[in-house]
């Protein structure tokens, strides 16, 4: 027998008992075996793509169904109050949305203002002030200064939700309402500090000449204070005197804020050059010194006023403006607006603070055993007998009490009981810098003074371009 032959009847019986799917598959395979190979591969590729596409449809459908179930579950739980986590998340989103819906009102602090007047001016109920001031940090709102700003954020019910207390461009306090209790956060900015430089020539007064040189007011006053122990800015100033100053110029986000401290300065008065440089000690304190290390701060100020003009100088043969008789004028009269602050020229103790018909309101201060200063015709006295005062402390204000023809301060300086001309009296020498700081001071001061000189040369070159 050459092979094993299955009877035809048996083959028909096998087909009847086989799965119809298998029969179709066999016939399909038999048919495809007669097709070219390229057609078979094409059909196989198309089949695979169809399977992948159908799978993706089913997968997307399942995800959408799951997402729909989660949303429905959240909705049901929130309605029933059973899902605290979901509720918290929703409340947080609502709070963020609420802050974006606040209505903001702004007020600037004026003289005499407090929180109540600010709220009334802004149209906000003052009943909310208690919760604000009773919270931690609320005491900061008790001492307001003119020029400070407030921004108040309110909701649709006129409830204060956020308050921003802006003390300065660099410092603000933010109060946020947390269910009636305010929490405060201090927010600060750091200014960018550059070196500003100005120079000028005296043509009339120092103040007017400095303003023409575009010096900020606080730098003008600082220069007068800095050199005020050596130069009388009323009597000693002459046309042609020169000054230069390098100072901190502070900026925030590219916008100029203000001028800071003087770094180095010079003043040429009647041909004599005075220079000063700022030095920070190792303990963090700062003082001004001459290039050779002598403190610019002397025992006495030359003048007791910041803003002044002279109406009468020291003259032992002066005719009195009221009595019209020759009467010794043993001091200097500084004419100034009524209410101008009068400063103690040195540290000492008040030995007299009273009123008399000729002197009006007057104050006498004893400085150790040797010196005494007297201040007459005051409008107001701010110190009492026995009180100790520091140099520069405001002791009263300019007035016109007693024998006086107008608002002015009469100032006298006595050495061992003898009247001396306050303008020219020789004052005690300044203290030198401590030996432990000397080497470091010399390095720092030379660098600052060199920079001041170089800026002056650069400024002169710039001016020559436009000559």
Residue 327, pLDDT > 80, answer no
Please give the pLDDT value at position 90.
41
| 257 vs 346, residue with greater confidence | 346
CA–CA separation, 11 vs 207, rounded Å? 126
Residues of the chain with pLDDT > 70, as a percent, come to 72
**Cβ 146 vs Cβ 110: under 8 Å:** yes
Q: Indicate the range of 41-50, 162-171, 335-344 predicted with least confidence.
A: 41-50
CA 271 distance to own-chain centroid:
39
* Radius of gyration of the chain measured on its C-alpha atoms: 44
- Extended strands (E) in 298-369: 309-312, 332-335, 341-343, 348-356, 360-367
Average pLDDT, the chain: 79
What's the whole-number mean pLDDT along residues 96-119? 82
CA–CA separation, 356 vs 93, rounded Å? 74
pLDDT tier at 307, thresholds 50, 70, 90? low
pLDDT tier at 221, thresholds 50, 70, 90? confident
Residue 95, pLDDT > 70, answer no
Residue 94 phi, psi dihedral angles, 5° rounding:
-65, -40
SS3 323: coil
Please give the pLDDT value at position 299.
86
- Which positions ≥6 away from 97 have C-beta within 8 Å? none
- pLDDT tens-place string over residues 17-45: 455 555 655 666 566 666 666 666 666 66
- Extended strands (E) in 189-233: 192-201
| 331 vs 329, residue with greater confidence | 331
- The secondary structure element, H or E, covering residue 430 is none
Q: What is the DSSP string of 97-156?
A: HHHHTPEEEEEE--TT--HHHHHHHHT--GGGHHHHHHSTTGGGGGS--TT-EEEEEE-T
Instruction: Say what the alpha-carbon torsion angle 245, 248, 251, 257 is, to the nearest 10 degrees.
Output: -70
| 388 vs 456, residue with greater confidence | 388
| 127 vs 3, residue with greater confidence | 127
Please give the pLDDT value at position 316.
37
- pLDDT tens-place string over residues 133-160: 888 888 888 889 999 999 999 988 888 8
Please give the pLDDT value at position 306.
66
User: Tokens for 286?
Assistant: 């700062």
pTM above the 0.75 mark? Answer: no
**Cβ 361 vs Cβ 401: under 8 Å:** yes
Taking alpha carbons only, the member of 31, 163, 58 closest to residue 105 is 163
**Cβ 213 vs Cβ 199: under 8 Å:** yes
Q: Which residue has the tokens 């009943």?
A: 127
User: Tokens for 392?
Assistant: 């520069």
What's the whole-number mean pLDDT along residues 175-181? 86
What's the whole-number mean pLDDT along residues 201-205? 90
pLDDT tier at 349, thresholds 50, 70, 90? very high
Please give the pLDDT value at position 207.
87
User: Tokens for 42?
Assistant: 């094409």
**Cβ 235 vs Cβ 313: under 8 Å:** yes
DSSP3 helix / strand / coil % (the chain, rounded to 5): 35, 30, 35
pLDDT tier at 210, thresholds 50, 70, 90? very high
- pLDDT tens-place string over residues 36-79: 666 666 666 666 667 666 666 555 555 444 433 333 333 333 33
User: Tokens for 403?
Assistant: 């024998």
- pLDDT tens-place string over residues 244-296: 999 999 898 888 888 889 999 999 999 999 999 999 999 999 999 999 999 99
Tell me the sheet residues that pair with 150.
107, 165
CA–CA separation, 134 vs 129, rounded Å? 8
Residue 83, pLDDT > 50, answer no
In the 8-state DSSP scheme, what is residue 316?
Answer: T
Rounded to the nearest 5 degrees, what angle is found at the Cα of 83, between the Cα atoms of 77 and 88?
Answer: 120
């Amino acid at each position: 027998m050459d092979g094993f032959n299955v009877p035809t009847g048996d083959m028909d019986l096998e087909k009847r008992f086989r799965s119809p799917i298998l029969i179709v598959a066999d016939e399909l395979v038999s048919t495809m075996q007669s097709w070219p190979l390229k057609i078979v591969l094409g059909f196989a590729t198309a089949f695979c793509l169809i399977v992948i596409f159908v799978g993706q449809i089913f997968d997307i459908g399942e995800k959408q169904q799951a997402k729909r179930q989660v949303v429905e579950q959240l909705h049901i739980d929130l309605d029933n109050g059973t899902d605290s986590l979901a509720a918290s998340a929703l409340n947080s989103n609502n709070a963020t949305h609420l802050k974006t819906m606040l209505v903001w009102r702004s007020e600037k602090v004026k003289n005499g203002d407090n929180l109540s007047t600010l709220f009334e001016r802004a149209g906000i109920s003052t009943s909310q002030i208690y919760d604000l001031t009773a919270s931690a940090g609320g005491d900061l709102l008790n001492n307001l200064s003119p020029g400070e700003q407030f921004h108040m954020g309110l909701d649709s019910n006129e409830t204060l939700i956020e308050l921003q207390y802006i003390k300065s461009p660099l410092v603000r306090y933010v109060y946020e309402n947390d269910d009636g209790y305010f929490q405060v956060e201090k927010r600060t900015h750091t200014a960018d500090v550059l070196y500003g430089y100005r120079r000028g020539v005296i043509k009339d007064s120092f103040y007017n000449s400095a303003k023409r040189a575009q010096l900020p007011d606080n730098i003008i006053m600082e220069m007068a204070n800095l050199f005020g122990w050596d130069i009388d800015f009323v009597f000693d100033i002459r046309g042609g005197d020169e000054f230069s100053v390098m100072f901190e110029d502070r900026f925030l986000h590219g916008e100029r804020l203000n001028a800071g401290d003087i770094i180095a300065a010079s003043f040429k008065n009647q041909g004599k050059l005075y220079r000063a440089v700022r030095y920070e000690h190792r303990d963090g304190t700062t003082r001004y010194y001459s290039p050779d290390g002598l403190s610019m701060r002397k025992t006495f100020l030359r003048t007791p006023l910041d803003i002044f003009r002279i109406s009468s100088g020291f003259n032992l043969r002066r005719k009195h403006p009221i009595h019209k008789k020759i009467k010794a004028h043993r001091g200097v009269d500084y004419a100034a607006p009524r209410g101008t602050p009068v400063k103690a020229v040195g540290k000492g103790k008040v030995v007299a603070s009273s009123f008399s018909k000729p002197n009006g309101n007057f104050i006498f201060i004893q400085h150790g055993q040797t010196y005494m200063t007297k201040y007459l015709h005051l409008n107001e006295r701010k110190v009492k007998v026995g009180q100790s005062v520091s140099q520069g402390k405001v002791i009263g204000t300019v007035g016109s009490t007693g024998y006086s023809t107008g608002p002015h301060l009469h100032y006298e300086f006595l050495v061992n009981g003898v009247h001396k001309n306050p303008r020219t009296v020789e004052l005690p020498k300044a203290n030198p810098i401590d030996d432990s700081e000397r080497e470091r001071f010399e390095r720092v001061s030379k660098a600052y003074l060199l920079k001041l000189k170089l800026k002056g040369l650069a400024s002169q070159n710039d001016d020559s371009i436009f000559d």
